[in-house]
Amino acid sequence: MSITKAYLKLSSLFFVLLVLGSCHRNTTKPEATKDKRTTVELVTEMGTMVIELYNETPKHRDNFIKLTQEGAYDSVLFHRVINQFMIQSGDPDSKNAKIDDALGNGDKPYKVAAEFHPDFFHKKGALGAARDGNPERASSAMQFYIAQGKVKNDSLIDKDQKRINKWLASHYSNLRPENKALLDSLQKANTDDTYEEYSRINDKLEKLAENFTDFEKYIIPEPHRAVYRTLGGTPHLDQNYTVFGEVIKGLEVIDSIAVVETGFQDRPKKDVRIFSVRIIE
Which residues, at least 6 apart from 144, have a Cβ–Cβ distance to it below 8 Å? 16, 17, 18, 64, 88, 89, 90, 127, 128, 129, 130
pLDDT in tens, 203-241: 999 999 999 999 999 999 999 999 999 999 999 999 999
Predicted confidence at residue 100, as pLDDT, reads: 87
Average pLDDT over residues 131-146: 95
- Predicted structure pTM score: 0.85
Instruction: Place 151 in a pLDDT band, splitting at 50, 70 and 90.
Output: very high
Average pLDDT over residues 75-93: 97
Quick one: what percent of the chain has pLDDT higher than 90? 82
Cα–Cα distance measured from residue 155 to residue 165, given in angstroms and rounded to the nearest whole number: 16
Cα–Cα distance measured from residue 266 to residue 276, given in angstroms and rounded to the nearest whole number: 23
Average pLDDT over residues 249-257: 98
Quick one: what percent of the chain has pLDDT higher than 70? 88
Average pLDDT over residues 136-145: 97
Predicted confidence at residue 220, as pLDDT, reads: 98
Average pLDDT over residues 146-167: 97
4 pLDDT higher than 60:
no
140 pLDDT higher than 70:
yes
Predicted confidence at residue 187, as pLDDT, reads: 87
The CA-based dihedral angle spanning residues 49, 55, 56, 57, taken in that order and rounded to the nearest 10 degrees: 70
Instruction: Place 191 in a pLDDT band, splitting at 50, 70 and 90.
Output: confident
Average pLDDT over residues 82-91: 98
Are the C-beta atoms of 252 and 47 separated by less than 8 Å? yes
Predicted confidence at residue 133, as pLDDT, reads: 85
CA atoms within 13 A on the CB side of 131: 20
Are the C-beta atoms of 20 and 68 separated by less than 8 Å? yes
19 pLDDT higher than 70:
no
Predicted confidence at residue 3, as pLDDT, reads: 37
Average pLDDT, the chain: 89
Average pLDDT over residues 74-90: 97
Predicted confidence at residue 34, as pLDDT, reads: 54
pLDDT in tens, 109-133: 999 999 999 999 999 999 999 999 8
Find how far residue 157's CA is from the centre of its chain: 20
16 pLDDT higher than 60:
no
Cα–Cα distance measured from residue 81 to residue 86, given in angstroms and rounded to the nearest whole number: 6
pLDDT in tens, 23-57: 333 433 444 445 799 999 999 999 999 999 999 99
Cα–Cα distance measured from residue 222 to residue 210, given in angstroms and rounded to the nearest whole number: 27
Average pLDDT over residues 65-77: 96
User: CATH says 3-149+237-279 is which class?
Assistant: mainly beta
